[in-house]
Every structure is written in C-alpha cells, then in structure tokens.
Structure 1
Amino acid sequence: MSYKGIHSKFVALFSLLLTVLFVYTAVSKLNHLNIFQLRLERMPYLSPYASLISWGVPFLELVIAGLLWFPKYQKLALCASFTLMGLFTSYIILVLRYSDSIPCSCGGVISSMGWETHLVFNACWMALALIGIVLLENKEKKSSSKNTVQ
C-alpha cells in the first residue's frame, strides 16, 4: 500500500468515526427533542436560544455527517466538525468556570461522562478532525505541485 493510500484510508476512517458520532448524537437529540430543549433552557447563556439550538444542532450534525462522504466537501466538513466540537468544548469550559449550574444536554452514553472526561472526549474528536484536515491539505499540495509546469 502506498503512502498516499494510507492517508486516504485515515481520512476515510476519521470521516466514518465522525459520521457515527454526529449521527448518533443527532438522532439521540431528535428522539428526545423535548428533553434536549428543556435542558438547553436550563443552561446558562443559551436559554433564550433553546428552541433554535434544539433543532439547529442536530440538523447541523446530520449535514456535516453527510458532507464528510463527498470528496468535494470533505475538507469543509472536517473543518466544520473541528469547529463544532471546539464550540461544544469552549462552552463546557465556560460553564465549568463561570456557572453554578451545569446541566448536561448531551444524549445517550455521552451524558453519563464526567465533565473532565467529556473535555478529553471532545479533544480527541477535534484531533481526528484536525489530522484529517492536515492530511487532505498535504494531498492537495502534492497534487498541485505535480500539476505545475517547471
């Protein structure tokens, strides 16, 4: 297997893992939409936007999960994955640092994690997305350097 083939397989693996994560969390939120929205309404800083977020986040997760499988949009989807996980992580840090009440709006198995575990979990997913982005950028650079006339 070529070095180039390994990079493509890693990007495909990371895309698969991120797809599973986003579909799982989106379906979990949509299956319990009322509970998800109620939890958002109890969250500091987000309560005024709970209705919009309760529909918007699962929709965005599903869109990103779908875009991960179109080569034309894969880099964009990996960047969106990194950004979304970064926003979730930043919010957790903000709430842990400045709020007395810390309700979890996560679904399924993820909601049973402690906050420190959740931060590590998110950081790992962000790392996968970032590695995928770097691999795709390296592939693009190699492709463009082969196509230039010297």
Structure 2
Amino acid sequence: MKRKIIIEIISSLLILLFLYASVSKWLAFKVFIGEINNQPFPNWMTPYLVWSIPIIEVIIAIGLIFERTRMPALYASVVLMSAFTIYTIVILMHAFKYIPCSCGGVIRKLTWPQHLFFNLFFVGISLLGIVLKKREPVHAADV
C-alpha cells in the first residue's frame, strides 16, 4: 500500500511538472518560439520543437494519470527529463556562447546549476517510480 501511495505522489508531481511546463509555453507561445530560435539548433527545427515539446509533455502527463499507461509514461518521463538534463550539462560546460532558457513560467527563473538539480530530481523520481511499479504485485484482475 505504501508503494502505491509513493507511485501516486511521483506520478502527481510529474503530471504537475509537465502540464505546468506545457501550458506555460503555450501561454507565452511567441516568447517560446523566439527562445527556441535562439537555441543552438538550426532554425528549420523550430516549428517541430515548439509544437512537439509541449505536446509530448501533455501526452506524458495524460499517460501518468491512467494505471494502464503509467509505466510507459514513466519511461517517457525519464527519456525527456534525461534529454533536458544532458542539454543542461552541455550548457554548464560552456559549449555554447549564450543560451536562453526556453522553459515556461517560474522554471525559467532558475540558474543553470539549479536547472541541473531540478532536472536530476525529476529523473530520479521517474526512475524510482519505474522501480516501484516493477515491484508491484500482479493481481489476477490485471492479467
């Protein structure tokens, strides 16, 4: 029972993160487009990135809501947050001259080292959710 509660808390935190991030990007969509254009990616990628990132975040959040899709959504959370984490590490290694934060809302106020710890926290709880979910007993009704 305790495991189930922890999984629910982890899922809820991730849902809040991804929904907050995606809605913040959509509410300031022109700013988000400008920030993506200032990233070290070719500008032809901008339309794909500005639409796919928030949509992927929403899809992961929806997947985390339902028991049946929670495990794939936890894996997707690890992948997405790991990608953001790797990108943050590259920024901290000064691989680029100037990188604006294209995060939404209050997350954009974080420094790059704070971003790293923020991202690592969410990678960590996603991995913990996977481990706990794998250890859940299989019920006859679930088969």
TM-score, length-normalised on structure 1?
0.87
Gaps of 5+ in 1: 145-150
In structure 1, the partner of 2:21 is 25
Alignment partners' CA distance in 1, 2:85 and 2:109: 16
Contact 1:7 1:135 in 2 (8 A): yes
Aligned pairs for 1:110-149 (under 5 A) are 110-139=107-136, 142-143=137-138
Partners of 1:48 and 1:122 in 2: how far apart?
27
Q: C-alpha displacement at 1:69, in angstroms? A: 1.2
C-alpha contact 2:74 2:127 (8 A) present in aligned 1: yes
**1:4-27 Cα shifts (integer Å, max 9, x gaps):** x01011101100010001000000
Moved more, 40-49 or 77-86: 40-49
Q: How many Å apart are 1:42 and its aligned residue?
A: 0.6
Q: Distance in 1 between matches of 2:67 and 2:112?
A: 34
- The aligned amino acid for 1:133 is I
Q: What secondary structure, in the 3-state scheme, does the structure 1 residue paired with 2:31 have? A: helix
Whichever of the two has the greater Rg, that structure is: 1
Is 1:54 matched up with 2:50?
yes
> C-alpha distance in 2, partners of 1:125/1:50?
25
Give the 3-state SS of the residue equivalent to 1:73 in structure 2. helix
8 A Cα contact 1:40 1:46, kept in partner: no
Shift of 1:48: 2.9
**Counterpart in 2 of 1:148?**
none
Pairs within 5 Å for 1:62-73: 62-73=58-69
Task: Pick from 104, 108, 119 the counterpart of residue 105 of structure 2.
Answer: 108
- Percent identity over the alignment is 35
Gap regions ≥5 residues in structure 2: none
1:76 aligned to 2:72? yes
State yes or no: 1:91 paired with 2:68.
Answer: no
Residue 40 of structure 2 corresponds to 44
Aligned equivalents of 2:111, 2:20: Cα separation in 1? 19
